[in-house]
């Protein structure tokens, strides 16, 4: 097969109108001949050819005269082979050296790039988690009024499963349970408000700032006020540990982290309302659930309410689970109750003995008052 | 076909006087006004797959418009951002244009997409570049003014986002303006290092700098 000797390329020379021109390049046995589109001819013998390799592709071969007045260049992949062949090895070593240099530079660049990318990635990830950790810590430095504002606005914006219950027997019973737990939260300044909703869905939650919402479905399901106290202690613990606000910082990430650190909570409030609504309804992180269990059990223990009643309520829900899977929202957002029952029992062993007192609530009476409610 | 670039350099636009049998290819949405007799045909920017590639990586539109007229007519082309427009007269040579710079060309010009490399992408100059080659005029636009420079064998440094076009004989490297500290805290970050022989076109303003400036004033 005959080797290629004619290629498309170009010429740089001061005599050309624009200093350069496209040209057809012929590789001859004595050197390079370039013929421009205007039929101007330029020649460089191999003996006067200073080679270089580069260009945008990194594969362009330049042949310059010693005075650098004339440069002929070509990017065709067969061009180096034609040069070697026609020059009978005169330029082989130089070409090989130049391509080797380019490969070495490319390799050097790739390594530098990889190292820089790795350093940047580590820096970014580290910086992100550091900022997030600082933001989490900053949550506790914020006044409780921020939680209360978010809770209040979220409460106003929420769609409940049913209408509020005004029956004083039912509402007072829940208030009494909350009042028994409230002194033992360990967070001064946090007060709780109770709202009972007429809904068959077995659910209860606590909005940031201490707004406790309990569905009649959950009250009906509970066999004793202590079981309700068990659930509420866990939910109140979320408000005590300010998990709602922490979720806001985690969900909104770095921007909020920075806002928290510089003390600008204006944007946080607006965004917090939306997240505050869902914070109580959707699941918290496993870490937050475990912490709420721990704090809840501690609160129950301090309030002299038997924490085992929470475990008993779990057992009861487990049995009912098959019958009412869709209605038991509280369980669906709090998975793995077997693990949690075991954890509660384990924690109780460490808390030491205590004499528990039943709540002074006529539970039968409360159940009677719950019966006529619609429970939508 | 007579062409005039008007209102330079801030709000440049191209006034084209089309004669019968003249044709002009322009970026979709480049037309600002035209005579009623001008016919506009829309087609894929070099076929379906090349068009999608150009859209995704070249910053160009999926479609190009081909303008022609059976009688003398007028056509005004413009760009979406304030800045200048420059004309290249290709005579068998080629030029690389940065994503989004292409505005219009004569039918003899080939538009191709060329791999620019990861280095170019990291330097903020795009993963691909538009290669214009063949014979005919090409109009390309810049954000801000356009200025050109002949580059010899010595290295020349252009800040990221300022390079608009360059000849294939130009080699491109991305690097830091100084040391790590001065590069990032001096506000220059990564820069493009070019080496000739060849010509480069630069723009006097930088989109990334503008968006960063706006972003800084939003918060």
Q: 102-131 in B: which are within 8 Å (CB) of A?
A: 116, 118-119, 122, 129
Residue whose token pair is 């020379």? A13
Closest-CA distance, A21 to chain B, in angstroms, reads: 7
**Chain A residues whose beta carbon lies within 8 Å of the beta carbon of residue B167:** 20, 56
Contact B50, B63 (CB under 8 A): no
Least confident of A258-262, B81-85, B169-173: A258-262
Q: What is the DSSP string of B126-190?
A: -SEEEEEEEEEEEEEE-SB-EEEEEE-SSEEEEETT-EEEE-TT-EEEEEESSSHHHHHHTT--E
Yes or no, beta carbons of A56 and B170 under 8 Å apart: yes
pLDDT band at A22 (very low <50, low <70, confident <90, very high): very high
Choosing from A86, A226, A235, A259, which is the catalytic residue?
A235
Give the Cα separation of B124 and A124 in Å (integer): 19
Which pLDDT does position A354 carry in this prediction?
83
Which pLDDT does position A95 carry in this prediction?
86
**Chain A residues whose beta carbon lies within 8 Å of the beta carbon of residue B119:** 109, 113
Kindly report, residue by residue over A33-51, the tens digit of the pLDDT.
Answer: 999 988 999 999 998 999 9
For the four alpha carbons of B144, B148, B152 and B153, in that order, the dihedral sign comes to: positive
Kindly report, residue by residue over B23-82, the tens digit of the pLDDT.
Answer: 999 988 899 999 999 999 987 776 777 777 767 766 667 788 899 999 999 999 999 999
Q: Which residue has the higher pLDDT, A370 or B122?
A: A370
pTM (global) more than 0.90:
no
Mutation for testing the A interface, residue in B129, B135, B195, B198 having most A CBs under 10 Å: B198
**Strongest mean pLDDT among A255-259, A359-363, B165-169:** B165-169
Contact A130, A136 (CB under 8 A): no
Query: Please, how many CA atoms are within 13 Å of residue A321, restricted to the half-sphere of its CB?
Result: 14
Distances (CA, A) of B87 to A67, B4, B67, B76, B101: 32, 10, 18, 15, 12
Q: Which residue has the higher pLDDT, A295 or A329?
A: A295
Which pLDDT does position A1 carry in this prediction?
47
**Chain B residues whose beta carbon lies within 8 Å of the beta carbon of residue A58:** 171
Q: Is residue B150 pLDDT above 90, yes or no?
A: yes
Contact B189, B123 (CB under 8 A): no
Closest-CA distance, A156 to chain B, in angstroms, reads: 28
pLDDT band at A309 (very low <50, low <70, confident <90, very high): confident
* B92 inside 8 A of chain A by CB: yes
pLDDT band at A32 (very low <50, low <70, confident <90, very high): very high
DSSP secondary structure letter of residue B171: E
Yes or no, beta carbons of B197 and A12 under 8 Å apart: yes
Mutation for testing the B interface, residue in A50, A56, A69, A256 having most B CBs under 10 Å: A56
Yes or no, beta carbons of B93 and A113 under 8 Å apart: no
Which pLDDT does position A269 carry in this prediction?
59
Closest-CA distance, B128 to chain A, in angstroms, reads: 12
Which pLDDT does position B52 carry in this prediction?
77
Kindly report, residue by residue over A135-176, the tens digit of the pLDDT.
Answer: 777 777 778 888 888 888 888 888 887 899 999 999 999 999
Chains A & B: contacts with CB separation below 8 Å: 53
Least confident of A71-80, B95-104, B122-131: B122-131
Kindly report, residue by residue over A358-375, the tens digit of the pLDDT.
Answer: 888 899 999 999 888 865
Q: What percent of chain B has pLDDT over 70?
A: 89
Q: What is the ipTM of this complex?
A: 0.84
A37 closest CB neighbour out of B92, B118, B172: B92
Is A235 catalytic? The answer is yes
């Amino acid at each position: 097969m005959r080797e290629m000797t004619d290629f498309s390329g170009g010429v740089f020379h001061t005599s050309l109108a624009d200093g350069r021109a496209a040209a057809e390049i012929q590789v001859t046995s004595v050197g390079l001949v370039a013929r421009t589109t205007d039929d101007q001819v330029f020649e460089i013998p191999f003996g006067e050819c200073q080679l270089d390799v580069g260009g945008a592709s990194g594969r362009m071969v330049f042949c310059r005269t010693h005075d650098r007045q004339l440069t002929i260049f070509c990017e065709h992949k067969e061009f180096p082979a034609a040069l070697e062949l026609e020059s009978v090895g005169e330029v082989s070593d130089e070409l090989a050296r130049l391509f080797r240099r380019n490969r070495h530079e490319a390799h050097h660049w790739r390594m530098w790039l990889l190292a820089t990318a790795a350093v940047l990635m580590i820096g970014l990830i580290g910086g992100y988690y550091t900022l997030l950790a600082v933001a989490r810590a900053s949550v506790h430095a914020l006044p409780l009024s921020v939680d209360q504002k978010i809770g209040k606005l979220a409460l106003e914006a929420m769609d409940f499963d049913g209408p509020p219950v005004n029956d004083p027997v039912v509402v007072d019973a829940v208030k009494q349970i909350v009042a028994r737990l409230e002194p033992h939260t360990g967070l001064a300044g946090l007060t709780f408000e109770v709202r009972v909703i007429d809904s068959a869905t077995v659910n209860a939650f606590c909005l940031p700032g201490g707004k406790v919402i309990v569905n009649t479905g959950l009250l009906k399901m509970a066999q004793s006020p202590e079981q309700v106290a068990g659930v509420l202690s866990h939910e109140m613990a979320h408000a005590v540990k300010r998990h709602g606000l922490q979720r806001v910082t985690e969900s909104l990430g770095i921007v909020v982290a920075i806002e928290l650190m510089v003390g600008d909570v204006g944007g946080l409030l607006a965004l917090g309302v939306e997240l505050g609504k869902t914070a109580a309804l959707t699941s918290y992180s496993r870490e937050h659930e475990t912490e709420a269990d721990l704090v809840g059990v501690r609160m129950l223990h301090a309030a002299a309410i038997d924490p085992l009643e929470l475990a008993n309520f779990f057992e009861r829900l487990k049995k009912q689970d098959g019958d009412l899977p869709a209605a038991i929202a509280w369980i669906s957002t709090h998975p793995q109750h077997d693990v949690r029952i075991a954890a509660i029992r384990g924690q109780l062993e460490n808390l030491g003995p205590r004499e528990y007192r039943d709540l002074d609530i006529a539970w039968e009476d409360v159940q009677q008052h719950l019966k006529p409610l619609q429970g939508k | 076909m007579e062409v005039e670039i008007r209102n330079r350099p801030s709000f440049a636009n191209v006034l084209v006087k089309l004669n019968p049998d003249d044709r002009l290819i322009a970026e979709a949405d480049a037309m600002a006004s035209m005579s009623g007799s001008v016919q506009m045909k829309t087609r894929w920017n070099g076929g379906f797959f090349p068009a999608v590639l150009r859209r995704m990586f070249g910053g160009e539109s999926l479609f190009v418009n081909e303008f022609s007229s059976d009688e003398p007519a007028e056509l005004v082309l413009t760009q979406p951002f304030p800045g200048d427009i420059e004309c290249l007269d290709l005579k068998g040579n080629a030029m690389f244009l940065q994503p989004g710079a292409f505005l219009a060309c004569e039918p003899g010009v080939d538009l191709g997409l060329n791999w620019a490399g990861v280095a170019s992408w990291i330097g903020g100059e795009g993963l691909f570049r538009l290669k214009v080659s063949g014979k005919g005029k090409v109009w390309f636009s810049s954000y801000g003014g356009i200025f050109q420079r002949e580059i010899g064998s010595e290295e020349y440094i252009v800040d990221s986002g300022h390079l608009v076009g360059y000849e294939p004989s130009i080699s491109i490297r991305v690097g830091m303006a100084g040391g790590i500290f001065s590069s990032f805290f001096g506000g220059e970050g990564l820069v493009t290092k070019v080496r000739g022989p060849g010509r480069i076109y630069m723009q006097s303003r930088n989109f990334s700098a503008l968006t960063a400036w706006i972003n800084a004033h939003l918060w």
